[in-house]
Chain A
Amino acid sequence: MSTSAQALAEAAQPIHPPPTSFWRQYVFSIDHKMIAKQFLWAGLLFLLVGGTLAMLIRWQWAYPYRPVPVIGQLFLRENGGVIGPATYQQIFTTHGLIMIFFAVTPVLIGCFGNFLIPLMIGARDMAFPKLNMYSFWTFLLSQLLVLASFLSDLGSAGAGWTTYPPLSTNVGTPGVGQTLVVAAIFVTGVSSTMGAINYVTTVIRMRAPGMGYMRLPLTMWGLWLTAILNALFVPVLGSAALLLLLDRNFGTQFFVAGASAVRGGGDPILFQHLFWIFGHPEVYILILPAWGILGDVIPFFARKPHHWYKGTVWSMVIVTVLSAMVYGHHMFMTGMSPLLGEGFMLFTLLISAPSMVVVLNWVLTLWRGSIRFDTPMLFALATVFVFGVGGLTGLFLADISMDLYLHDTMFVVGHFHFTMAAASFIAAMTGVYFWFPKIFGRKLDERLGKAHFWFTFVGITLVFGGQLLAGYAGQQRRLFDPFQYTFIHGLRGLNRWTSFFAFALFAGQFIFVWNFFRTLFGKAVRAGENPWQVTTLEWTATGSPPPFHNFDRIPEVVRGPHEFSNPEVRRLTGRDFAGQSEVLPGSAGPALAAARG
Chain B
Amino acid sequence: MPGTNLRRDTLAETVPEVPNLHRYRLRRTEGEVTSYVGMIIFLGSWAMMFAALFFAYAVVRLRAPMWPPPDQPALPILVPGLNTVVIAASSGAVVLAVHAQALGRHRRASIWLGVAAGLGALFLGLQILVWVGVWRAGLLPSGGPYPSAFYALTAFHALHVLVGLAALGVLAIHARPPRGTTRSAVRLWGMFWHFVGAVWLALYVAVYLV
Contact = CB atoms under 8 A, between A and B. Distances in A.
Do A and B touch (CB < 8 Å)?
yes
Interface in B52-110: 52-53, 55-56, 59-60, 63-65, 69, 71-72
Contacts, number: 119
Interface stretch (A40-48, A260-268, A404-412): A260-268
Interface stretch (A70-78, A111-119, A200-208, A294-302): A200-208
Interface stretch (A89-97, A243-251, A362-370, A391-399): A243-251
B142 A253 contact: yes
Contacts of B59: 267, 270, 273
Interface size class of A (residues with CB under 8 A): 35 or more
Interface residues of B, number: 40
A127 B60 contact: no
Interface stretch (B16-24, B42-50, B122-130, B193-201): B42-50
A235 interface: yes
B156 interface: yes
B37 interface: yes
Contacts of B149: 254
Interface string A210-246: 0000000000000000000001111110111011001
B178 interface: no
Contacts of A205: 30, 33-34, 37
A235 B46 contact: yes
B30 A265 contact: no
Contacts of A252: 141-142, 147-148, 151-152
In this complex, which of B48, B55, B69 has the most chain A Cβ atoms within 10 angstroms of its Cβ? B48
A8 interface: yes
A238 B33 CA distance: 28
Given A239-B52, A274-B55, A127 B145 contact: no
A197 interface: yes
Query: Main secondary structure on chain A at its contact with chain B?
Result: helix
B142 A251 contact: yes
A254 B148 contact: yes
B192 to A, nearest CB: 13
B37 A12 contact: no
A127 B37 CA distance: 10
Contacts of B140: 251
A246 B152 contact: yes
Contact of A8 (B30, B41, B42): B30
B41 A200 contact: yes
Given A254-B60, A266-B60, A231 B41 contact: yes
A168 interface: no
A264 B60 CA distance: 10
A206 B34 contact: yes
Given A251-B142, A265-B145, A270-B59, A232 B37 contact: no
Contacts of B71: 263
B144 interface: yes
In this complex, which of B34, B60, B145 has the most chain A Cβ atoms within 10 angstroms of its Cβ? B145
Which 4 pairs of residues, A with B, have the shortest CB-CB distance? A263-B144, A251-B142, A235-B49, A252-B148
Interface of B: 2, 30-31, 33-34, 37-38, 41-42, 44-46, 48-49, 51-53, 55-56, 59-60, 63-65, 69, 71-72, 140-149, 151-152, 156
10 contacts: A11-B30, A231-B48, A232-B44, A240-B52, A243-B152, A253-B148, A254-B60, A263-B71, A263-B143, A264-B64
Given A12-B30, A252-B141, 6 more contacts: A12-B31, A231-B41, A233-B48, A234-B45, A239-B52, A263-B144
